[in-house]
Amino acid sequence: MTTRNICMVIAYDGTEFHGWQRQPGLRTVQGLLEQAIRRVARHQVDLIGSGRTDAGVHAAGQVASFMTGCTIPTTRLRYAIGSRLPKDVSIRALWEVSPDFHATRSATSKMYRYRIHAARNRPVEQHAQPYTYHYWQPLDVDRMRLAARYFIGTMDFSAMATKGSPRESTVRTVLRCDIERYCSEIRIYVVGKGFLYNQVRNMVGTLIHVGRCRWEPAYVQTILDSMDRSQAGETAPARGLSLCWVQYPATLLQAPVQSIYRDLDDLPDVAGS
């Protein structure tokens, strides 16, 4: 029997999930997907995700892969699995990839977006309540942009990492940290080669302090140099965060991924960078 390596791009609303990773007795994205795949493929599967999103975090472009001996053509396989999923999970694409492809280890970069509704009116008026952090006071975006520059580069991000997920190294590389304003909504885009536990949400919490004029933009460098989590801002709530895309070497992933990500027309032009 020939074994195939199947890759999927997945979108989900994280509101009702206890995160990506399967957990006994809890509703998780990985757990539901594996259950749906198992019913179609008729064998146990180990679904490998590009990374773990926490409870309440969303995704527009999560990538996952699994090995299967199932012979159903990929077009039919996508809909067979998708029809067994709840309404808050969707398979955006599914195709066969190289046996060497690994959704976690093969990833070269990924982008997260964080949405802040910075106004006194509630985001429910824009039907955005589950997907934005409502911050009641106005924020100075220009100051936040100046502060965001200090996050760019390869450095020790200990000050931005919440304890709970031990790593051999706390050095990470952030390639971009862009901030845009859309009326009363502020969107923070962070592109990196990999992230520590809660790193992006802690970066956002720190930028909010700068936007409220409590800290000067340059103080972010002092926080990073301290390597002390207690010196940084609070962890921003999960509901504002979404995994937008994951990038892989073209030699391993020949697929229409970029066309899928172009559908996310509110993202800055970094998907091909």
| Banded model confidence at residue 21, pLDDT cuts 50, 70, 90 | very high
Residue 6 pLDDT > 90, yes or no? yes
Q: For residue 62, give the 3-state DSSP assignment.
A: strand
Q: Which helix (H) or strand (E) holds 253?
A: none
Query: Given the DSSP bridges, would you call strands 4-12 and 171-182 parallel, antiparallel or unpaired?
Result: unpaired
- Check for a shared fold between 4-106 and 109-242: yes
Residue 95 pLDDT > 90, yes or no? yes
Q: Is residue 68 within 8 Å of residue 43, measured between CB atoms?
A: yes
- Which one is catalytic: 54, 156, 228, 263? 54
Average pLDDT over the chain, rounded to an integer: 91
Q: Is residue 144 within 8 Å of residue 233, measured between CB atoms?
A: no
Q: Compute the distance between CA of residue 45 and CA of residue 43 in angstroms, rounded to an integer.
A: 6
Q: Is residue 37 within 8 Å of residue 47, measured between CB atoms?
A: yes
156 belongs to the catalytic site? no
pLDDT at 119: 87
Residue 3 pLDDT > 80, yes or no? yes
- For residue range 217-258, list pLDDT tens digits in order: 999 999 999 999 999 999 999 999 999 999 999 887 755 455
**What would the two tokens of residue 37 be?**
């795949």
Per-domain boundaries in the chain: 4-106, 109-242
Q: Compute the distance between CA of residue 41 and CA of residue 68 in angstroms, rounded to an integer.
A: 7
| Banded model confidence at residue 270, pLDDT cuts 50, 70, 90 | very low
Structurally, at CATH architecture level, domain 109-242 sits in 2-Layer Sandwich (3.30)
Q: Is residue 118 within 8 Å of residue 138, measured between CB atoms?
A: yes
**What would the two tokens of residue 26 be?**
């809890």
Give buried/exposed letters for 102-122 (b at 16+ CB in 10 A, else e).
Answer: bbeebbebbbbbbbbbbbeee
| Banded model confidence at residue 273, pLDDT cuts 50, 70, 90 | very low
| Residue 5: closest CA among 69, 82, 88 | 69
Q: Is residue 89 within 8 Å of residue 12, measured between CB atoms?
A: yes
Report, as an integer, the average pLDDT of 106-113.
96
Q: Compute the distance between CA of residue 228 and CA of residue 231 in angstroms, rounded to an integer.
A: 6
**What does the H/E/C string look like for 63-110?**
EEEEEECCCCCHHHHHHHHHCCCCCCEEEEEEEEECCCCCCCCCCCEE
Q: Is residue 10 within 8 Å of residue 90, measured between CB atoms?
A: yes
| Residue 179: closest CA among 246, 252, 268 | 268
Residue 138 pLDDT > 50, yes or no? yes
Is 3.30.2320.50 the CATH classification of the domain at 4-106? no
pLDDT at 267: 54
Residue 213 pLDDT > 60, yes or no? yes
